[in-house]
Copies of this chain bind each other. A is one copy, B any other.
Amino acid sequence: MADSSALDALVDQALEGSRRAISRLMSVVENGGPEARVALARLYPHTGRAHRIGVTGSPGAGKSTLVTELAKVYRGQGKRVGIVSVDPTSPFSGGALLGDRVRMRDLALDSAVFIRSMATRGSLGGLARATADVVDVLDGAGFDPVLIETVGAGQSEVDIARTADTTIVIELPSAGDEIQAFKAGILEIADVLVVNKADLPGADNAMAALRAMLDLGQAQTVRHHGESVTIAGVSAEAGSEQDWATPLLKTSALRGEGIAELARAVEEHYHYLAESGRRQQYHRARVEEQLRRILRQELLGRLLVRLPEAELAAAVDRVATRQEDPYSAAETLIARVS
């Protein structure tokens, strides 16, 4: 597909809801490059309506079962649901067991549900970009909410979570305090905290430990969406709106227990975002980040077009043999085409 009128037609068909067009458009935006740019430019005015819900947690926490159950709740409300999976262990992404696949079969056959899995081993930064663009496609095509499933604990997962309006962090029941340490790294991105597999021993243990951490957080501001907010307490910023108290819930996704309550908490967070003005504030911060990312990529592309291939290779050789450091080599290459 080379000409932009064909791309325009593809976007129009996707906006009208053609599953085939949505799927092809996702491939186009995932691949990046000039075609992705043309398509995204046309798509863009139609985005920004969907509630983007991130679901993250460690492998085995039951993220996909929970996503499946949440999706069923939204379907019961007559909503069209998008699901994007960037978790290599997820049944949505293909790395899964038969039982999980059976569980979500009904969902996959529902024409008001669109499931897309992302390749997780792209280049640094590429995955966050591609995920955001694929979510934009679902958003533009009228899917709302869009659930984004990622495996927790990685930097790029945190970056992906930051593209969501609401982030659900799932924890597992725990026998000791080992889980505590893990939480230290991931608590800060949770808008809603869930202990899943509540039927297992250790669920109350995990709940108590998390509750204690949330209470501790009351006095402590953490970094969130690029600015300081307070967990489970009153904001420390002067003049700010009433702040969000991260709710802590217990679910058993496999048995469908606690899911309605979870959906309500997510809904409440969405209202909070809208009423406090934070949704726009976060959106603006994300846009600026995205703009910078695109600028970096574009500027490199322009440089490489003007640079003979042999010169880049020669610079790589000089650095690889330590005749020149990478920063000086970059300097030289930029000077060559300026």
Contacts and interface: CB of A to CB of B under 8 A. Distances in A.
Oligomeric state, in copies: 2
B303 A295 contact: yes
A89 interface: yes
Interface in A83-129: 88-90, 95-97, 120-125, 127-128
A263 to B, nearest CB: 26
Given A178-B60, A303-B299, A156 B153 contact: no
B124 A326 contact: no
A158 B325 CA distance: 24
Interface residues of A, number: 82
A316 B291 contact: yes
Nearest to A86: B155
Interface in A262-310: 280, 283-284, 287-300, 302-303
Contact of A155 (B121, B294, B295, B327): B121
A121 B223 contact: yes
Given A89-B182, A299-B303, A334-B298, A326 B291 contact: yes
A42 B89 CA distance: 43
A48 B325 CA distance: 12
Most chain B CB neighbours (cut-off 10 Å) among A292, A325, A334 = A325
A128 B326 CA distance: 15
A297 B60 CA distance: 37
Given A182-B60, A316-B288, A37 B121 contact: no
Contacts of A42: 325
Given A89-B182, A153-B154, A295-B334, 20 more contacts: A47-B322, A58-B153, A59-B178, A60-B179, A88-B185, A88-B186, A97-B178, A120-B185, A121-B223, A124-B156, A124-B159, A151-B154, A153-B153, A155-B156, A280-B320, A287-B319, A288-B312, A291-B330, A291-B333, A299-B299
28 contacts: A42-B325, A45-B325, A48-B322, A59-B182, A88-B153, A88-B182, A89-B153, A89-B184, A95-B184, A97-B177, A97-B180, A124-B155, A124-B156, A153-B153, A156-B156, A284-B317, A284-B320, A287-B326, A291-B312, A291-B316, A291-B330, A294-B326, A295-B300, A295-B330, A295-B334, A296-B299, A296-B300, A299-B300
